[in-house]
Amino acid sequence: MNRFLAAFSLTAALVRAQDARHIMQEVQDRARANSQRYEGTLKVIDSKNKISEKRWTYDRIGSAGGSKVVIRFSAPAEVKGVALLVVNHPERSSDQWMWTPALQRDRRIAFQDRSTRFFGTDFSFEDLEERDASQYDYKILGEETVNGALCWKLESRPKKSKSSQYTHAHIWVGKARYVFEKIESFHDGKLIRRLIYSDYQKIQNIWTPLTMEIEEVGRKSKTILNTEKLQYNVPLKDGQFTLQALRRES
Amino acid sequence: MIDLQDVSKQFDGKRKVTALDQVSLSIAKGEMVSLVGASGSGKSTMLNLIGGLDKPSSGEIIVDGQRLSRVSDDQLTRVRRDKIGFIFQFFNLLPTLSCLENAALPLHLRGWNRRRIDERARELLDLVQLGHRLDHLPEELSGGERQRVAIARALSVYPPILLADEPTGNLDSHTGAEILHLIRNLHQRLGATILIVTHDMGVAESCPRTIRLKDGKVVEDIRR
Amino acid sequence: MMLLRLLTWPYVRKHKLRTILTIAGIALGVIVFVGMRTANDSVLYGFQQTVDRLAGKAQLQISSGETGFPEEVLERVQALPEVDVAVPVIEATVKTGLPGQGNILILGVDMTGDRSLRQYEFEEGDESFIDDPLVFLAQPDSLMVTSEFAAHNHLATGGKISFDTMIGPRQFTIRGIMKSGGLASAFGGNLAIMDIYAAQKVFGRGRGFDRIDLKLKPDVSLAKGQSALEALLGSGYQIEPPSSRGKQFESISRIFSIGASLNSAFALLIGLFIIYNTFAIAVTQRRSEIGILRSLGASRRQVRGLFLLESAILGLTGSILGIVFGLLMARGMANYVSSLFGEIYGVAQRVETVAADPKIIALALGIGVATSMLAAWLPARDASQVDPAKALHKGAYESFTAEEGRLRLIGAACFLAAAAVCLFLRGAEGLRLYAGYLSVVLAAILLAPAMVRCLVAALRPLLRSLLPVEGALAAGSLIQSPRRTSATVVAVMLSISLVVGLGGVSNSSYQSLMGWMNNVLNPDLFVAASEQISDRGFRFPASIGDELRRMDFIDEVQMVRTARVRFRGAPVMIVAVTIDSLARRVHPQVVAGDPSRMYREAAAGRGVLFADSLARLKGVELGDTVEIPSPAGVLKLPVVGITIDYSDQQGAILMDRSVFVRNWKDDTVNLFRVYLTKGTTAGEGKRRILAQLGARNRLFVLTNDQVRRFILRVTDQWFSLTYMQIFVAVLVAVLGIVNSLTVSITDRRRELAVLQAVGGLRRQVRQAVWMEAMAIALVSVLLGLALGAVILFYYIGIIREEIAGVRLEYEYPVRIALALIPAMIAVAFLSALGPAESAVRSSLVEALEYE
């Protein structure tokens, strides 16, 4: 799956195949790591250039379609402790729960709500999940240069069309490093979201974008995620990625 | 008994109508006078003024020593009640009251006690020869009988003055003669002052005095 | 039309007062009709409008009566392939505590999903605050209000409002302001949105939802979706479009609208007689005119047409006036009715607009004109039959012909026979009662003239002994002109009988209610979650009961949970309480069943108790097994007892708390019935409970006395609407008396002049008129009191069988009756003052020449 979170697990590797599926598999393989942690700053710039900022810590265990993620907000004070648990499944939509410490309540994010925006950002809840690259069909549309990097331009379509708000996406993969440079997601030919990756750094041998900019087209706002203290293969336990743990740790 | 001094009566309408024009007249006690004239000559107006049913526009009317122009409506009513008996062309009996009750009406209005009223009313109806019809309603009587009841009512307190407005106007000539006979008879027996408005010359001429009105003025005053 | 201008207009101008009175007669009937209807409809419409606005794009709503259901249902519903979006809802109203704002409706929703069903339009800019949606969820004190509410109360984002919650008094922060219109205009704009999980805590819902609103997939029909959901959830749930909630509310409050309809029909009936009266008189007075017309070649049809046209115009004028004033009255009444409904039924609603419903207006116009023309029908026919040759002769045509009298008697006998037959008929209770009621009223109307004659004849000696001449005149006038008086007498008689009937009903109701309160409403204190004992928006956790029980000054605590569930298609109140404890304390009047056995069975969960009224309305009898839908499936229990119970206006189903908790998976409590230990006063108990629990909980402690006063106050308010209608009915009747008297005076100008000519003083003339008025009043009142005795019998029957199921004792309202006699005589006297003055002030000469 090629959502933005997948981008953190890109690894540099040799080109094994030139067809679209192989390119995507290579992107996924190069980014593969057993776990990941970073601190993120999320900035939303609205149509009037008003900026609001929020911080979170991000923990992931597993990779590709089988990963689990806990996002825990740390700032501002009003949202501190609010956590989101995402349990990905290779072949279907993820399960997502939210924990609100002030209410001492967890709540399920229903499948019906996955296309709604993730708390005022330009992301949707669906954009938080990842699926295995094998769940999509790909084809190469051509080559283009993005941010000065020469890219393949690919088209991806989910095999089970009903599981996503998007009908297809255009993906620009940098030829040199096998990393995403840009993703545009469509619904029936209409562009819904545009995602641009930048500030690539090689961390623990994985090319990692430290900045991502996402824009829900037509809303005139954008969301910028900056990552810090990013680490791969940190010692995390499976038990930390459960509802119980979510409740316990708040 | 009845004195009219420069009495005028105007009716205000779209056109001012002068019904009586400075009439001065005197009728002595015990006189029986007929008042004649064409329709609209003012004879009914004069009768109404004397009877206190209406007030003159100017002039003074004195009935049995009482000046009528300066008294209240209720005082006027008392004058009517105590001194005047009315006989109308259309009888004006109250349809819901029996003969006895109709005849007794003025007595009730004067607040007499029941027994006395009853006695007097029977006496009166006997007088007008209706003693056998005490409990009948007016609609059960003939025209002449109704007028007798009306006369009985007019006489109820034995008033010094009896005013009759076309008393025979609504009756056939035979019955009319009977009623006139009755009135004359009563005049002789009771000695009341009687004023009869009529346009029946027969009736008029049967009275010792006849006053003729024309356009609100006395044009003739005949004593026989 | 030419005839109308030539003949009618001068007549109308000459009889201004009478024309006005006639128009007023129709107008008053229409006012009651339009006013009550519109007020009632506005309340219902306001409710439905709020429902619709809150529903947004929701096609179906899932509920389980008012009880709510466990959260898990939501996921099952969302998983159904036919369902596109399903969102949970909690709804409650709270007092804002802000001056002039009254209640605010709080909608608890899941903001993440809800926006696909409901349109939330935010004040500019707010939406893009990243904090907003997340902070809104993260902070349980978040509240979103409408811009209207915010503006009224000078609130902005970040502003605070506070109210009592189930977890104690709490301050809420405004974190969003919705633009007005659409959703934000629901409940008159007094709307706030809260996170649903916060709402669970605030309103004591445990882990349950009140409702699920859902939208189906585009290709799924409503019926298909409905049946899929029914298959999924079973019959314990109601799955209905939002529009049906209005009907449910309507069915709860139907007693009110039935009452309003019956009373406005009665008011119009009285109006009918006023018009009949006017036209009967007009035809009589214009006989010579009609005769001239006929001799000039007018056909019978033209004459009849003239009178019918006149009546139509009067009816139209009266109706239009009635509609205008009725709508004004509705404006004043709607809020009153709304708050009354809130107090009686505990259903949140708010009148938003008092709009003129074209259907009601058209109906009112139709009824007004039809009534007027119907009333004029007989007089118009009489007019058309005037013999031109005889018309100029004055005679006793105001009396009825012997044949007419005979026909009337035969008709009356037929109706009485019909009423008697109805009395002994079995089956079709409602029809039999309504038919009997109607027959009796019609018989009374037909018999009225004959009865007037008899009564007046009987009264005559009395009147004469008071004032010989005046009394005889008054009585005679009444006897001689039944046509003039009988319609008035009928109008007054009907309104008096209405007063007696409704007065008797309210007396008996109060008595029955007092009896119930004395038998059943005996706890020292009531601990409620809302200020209003009928409001079920807030609920206690069961643990509060334990805390109460531990207090040493409390002897016994009964946990009560009330909720409406759907029973046989309509909402019915369930009262779940610990029966064994209840059985020790209360002694309701048992209608059917063995008192000790029925409590034993019910306490063991082997049966339910029915309120007598509810059992009657639903046709439930002792021993029947009733089916009550619950989230756990249909609950089948035998009826083990039937008692007198006014827990709800329609009566309630009483079951043991354990049954409710088991089947509804809900152990929350609305109300605690608290019995104090000997020696503890209510005031002291109240103070100590508040001291121990008040700080942490939302609770209202009401003393027995306060609850009784509340119930009596609401009952007073309920009946005050009835009294208002009675007042209108009496007013109509008074108009009738005035009308009759003015006519009587005109008719008798000559007679009264004669009276004065032969020496009657003004005082005496006045007295004759007064006596006539008072005689009319006395006769009418006597007839009305007699008819009222019969009507009361039917009212009690109809209320029992058709409207409320309540068993009321027949008890003649003697005090009301005794008060009515002098009151109506006084009213008649007052209404005679004007006519009497006009009688003594008219010119004698003219009157004597009057022909």
C441 touches chain A (CB under 8 A): no
Domain enclosing residue A207, as ranges:
4-248
In this predicted structure, the answer to whether residue B88 has a pLDDT above a threshold of 90 is no
Q: How confident is the model at residue C395, as a pLDDT?
A: 46
> Are C460 and C475 spatial neighbours (Cβ–Cβ below 8 Å)?
yes
Query: Is residue B186 one of the residues assigned to a domain?
Result: yes
Whether residue C758 and residue B78 make contact (CB cut-off 8 A), yes or no, is no
CA distances from A121 to A125, C88, C369 (A): 10, 24, 65
Higher pLDDT pick, C580 / A130: C580
pLDDT confidence tier of residue B30, bands split at 50, 70 and 90: confident
Q: Measured between CA atoms, how close is C112 to chain A, in angstroms?
A: 6
Sign (positive or negative) of CA dihedral C3, C7, C10, C11: negative
> Are C625 and C594 spatial neighbours (Cβ–Cβ below 8 Å)?
no
- Give the domain CATH number at A184: 2.50.20.10
Query: Is residue B131 one of the residues assigned to a domain?
Result: yes
Q: What is the mean pLDDT of residues B27-47?
A: 86
Q: How confident is the model at residue C486, as a pLDDT?
A: 79
Q: How confident is the model at residue A86, as a pLDDT?
A: 92
The predicted-structure confidence for B151-162, as pLDDT tens digits, reads as follows 888 888 888 888
pLDDT confidence tier of residue B40, bands split at 50, 70 and 90: confident
Name the residue among C843, C838, C842, C821 with its Cα closest to residue C738: C838
Whether residue B97 and residue C479 make contact (CB cut-off 8 A), yes or no, is no
In this predicted structure, the answer to whether residue A58 has a pLDDT above a threshold of 90 is yes
Q: How confident is the model at residue A9, as a pLDDT?
A: 38
Residues of B in contact with C848 (CB under 8 A): 53, 88, 92
Encode C188-206: b = buried (16+ Cβ within 10 Å), e = exposed.
bbbbbbbbbbbbbbbbbbb
Q: What is the mean pLDDT of residues C618-622?
A: 91
Q: What is the mean pLDDT of residues C500-523?
A: 90
Q: What is the mean pLDDT of residues C699-707?
A: 89
Q: How confident is the model at residue A195, as a pLDDT?
A: 92
Query: To 10 degrees, the CA torsion angle through A214, A217, A222, A228?
Result: 0
**Lowest-confidence segment of A7-16, B13-22, C632-641, C646-655 by average pLDDT:** A7-16
pTM score, whole prediction: 0.76
Give the C-alpha separation, A119 to A109, whole Å: 12
Q: At what angle do helices C429-466 and C402-424 cross, to 10 degrees?
A: 140
The predicted-structure confidence for C785-813, as pLDDT tens digits, reads as follows 999 999 999 989 888 888 888 888 899 99
Nearest to C757 among B80, B97, B114 (CB): B80
* Chains touching B (3+ CB pairs < 8 Å): C
Nearest to A50 among C113, C128, C133 (CB): C128
- Phi first, then psi: what are they for A117, rounded to 5°? -75, 145
pLDDT confidence tier of residue C524, bands split at 50, 70 and 90: very high
In this predicted structure, the answer to whether residue A80 has a pLDDT above a threshold of 80 is yes
C759 touches chain A (CB under 8 A): no
Query: Is residue B65 one of the residues assigned to a domain?
Result: no
What sections of C627-748 are H helices per DSSP? 657-664, 682-693, 704-747
> Are B44 and B197 spatial neighbours (Cβ–Cβ below 8 Å)?
yes
pLDDT confidence tier of residue A15, bands split at 50, 70 and 90: very low
The predicted-structure confidence for B203-224, as pLDDT tens digits, reads as follows 888 888 999 988 888 888 888 8
**Lowest-confidence segment of A88-97, B7-16, B161-170 by average pLDDT:** B7-16
Give the C-alpha separation, C13 to C24, whole Å: 16
In this predicted structure, the answer to whether residue C131 has a pLDDT above a threshold of 50 is no
Q: Verify A-C touch: 3 or more CB pairs within 8 A.
A: yes
Q: What is the mean pLDDT of residues C685-709?
A: 87
Q: What is the mean pLDDT of residues C361-385?
A: 86
Query: Is residue B207 one of the residues assigned to a domain?
Result: yes
Residues of C in contact with B88 (CB under 8 A): 754, 848
Whether residue C131 and residue A78 make contact (CB cut-off 8 A), yes or no, is yes
Q: How many domains does chain B have?
A: 1
The predicted-structure confidence for C277-323, as pLDDT tens digits, reads as follows 778 777 777 777 777 777 777 778 888 888 888 888 888 999 999 99
Q: How confident is the model at residue C575, as a pLDDT?
A: 93
* Chains touching A (3+ CB pairs < 8 Å): C
Q: How confident is the model at residue C390, as a pLDDT?
A: 60
Q: What is the mean pLDDT of residues C839-850?
A: 72
Q: How confident is the model at residue A40, as a pLDDT?
A: 92
The predicted-structure confidence for C185-222, as pLDDT tens digits, reads as follows 788 788 888 999 999 988 888 888 999 999 998 899 99
Query: To 10 degrees, the CA torsion angle through C343, C349, C353, C357?
Result: -90
Q: How confident is the model at residue C1, as a pLDDT?
A: 54
Whether residue C476 and residue B94 make contact (CB cut-off 8 A), yes or no, is yes
- Give the domain CATH number at B90: 3.40.50.300
Q: How confident is the model at residue C800, as a pLDDT?
A: 86
pLDDT confidence tier of residue C726, bands split at 50, 70 and 90: confident
**Lowest-confidence segment of A8-17, A44-53, C739-748, C810-819 by average pLDDT:** A8-17
A114 touches chain C (CB under 8 A): no
Whether residue A110 and residue C133 make contact (CB cut-off 8 A), yes or no, is no
Name the residue among C762, C773, C744 with its Cα closest to residue C844: C762
Q: What is the mean pLDDT of chain C?
A: 83
C110 touches chain A (CB under 8 A): yes
Enumerate the β-bridge partners of residue A105: A100
The predicted-structure confidence for C212-231, as pLDDT tens digits, reads as follows 999 998 899 999 999 999 88
Q: How confident is the model at residue C123, as a pLDDT?
A: 54
- Phi first, then psi: what are they for B195, rounded to 5°? -125, 120
Query: Is residue B15 one of the residues assigned to a domain?
Result: no
Domain enclosing residue B179, as ranges:
28-50+79-223
The predicted-structure confidence for A169-217, as pLDDT tens digits, reads as follows 999 999 889 999 999 999 888 898 999 999 999 999 999 999 999 998 8
Query: Is residue B12 one of the residues assigned to a domain?
Result: no
Whose tokens are 């354990």? That residue is C658
Give the C-alpha separation, A192 to C180, whole Å: 29
Q: How many domains does chain A have?
A: 1
**Lowest-confidence segment of A194-203, A224-233, B196-205, C722-731 by average pLDDT:** C722-731
In this predicted structure, the answer to whether residue C126 has a pLDDT above a threshold of 60 is no
Residues of A in contact with C135 (CB under 8 A): 76, 78-79
Whose tokens are 């369902």? That residue is C83
Query: Is residue B22 one of the residues assigned to a domain?
Result: no
Q: What is the mean pLDDT of residues C331-350?
A: 80
Which residues in chain C (187-216) have CB-CB distances under 8 A to chain A? 195, 197-198, 201
Give the C-alpha separation, C623 to C594, whole Å: 12
> Are C258 and C580 spatial neighbours (Cβ–Cβ below 8 Å)?
no
> How is chain C split into domains, by residue range?
1-52+250-397, 57-241, 452-519+710-851, 539-697
> What would the 3-class secondary structure string for chain A be?
CCCHHHHHHCCCCCCCCCCHHHHHHHHHHHCCCCEEEEEEEEEEECCCCCEEEEEEEEEEECCHHHCEEEEEEEECHHHCCCEEEEECCCCCCCEEEEEECCCCEEEECCHHHCCCECCCCCCEHHHHCCCCHHHEEEEEEEEEEECCEEEEEEEEEECCHHHCCCCEEEEEEECCCCEEEEEEEEECCEEEEEEEEEEEEEECCEEEEEEEEEEECCCCCEEEEEEEEEEECCCCCHHHHCHHHHHHCC
The predicted-structure confidence for C167-177, as pLDDT tens digits, reads as follows 777 889 888 88
Give the C-alpha separation, C404 to C391, whole Å: 20
Query: Is residue B200 one of the residues assigned to a domain?
Result: yes
Burial class (CB in 10 A: 0-12, 13-18, 19+), C479: middle
In this predicted structure, the answer to whether residue C4 has a pLDDT above a threshold of 80 is no
Q: How confident is the model at residue C5, as a pLDDT?
A: 61
Nearest to A46 among C128, C135, C197 (CB): C128
Q: Verify B-C touch: 3 or more CB pairs within 8 A.
A: yes
pLDDT confidence tier of residue C400, bands split at 50, 70 and 90: low
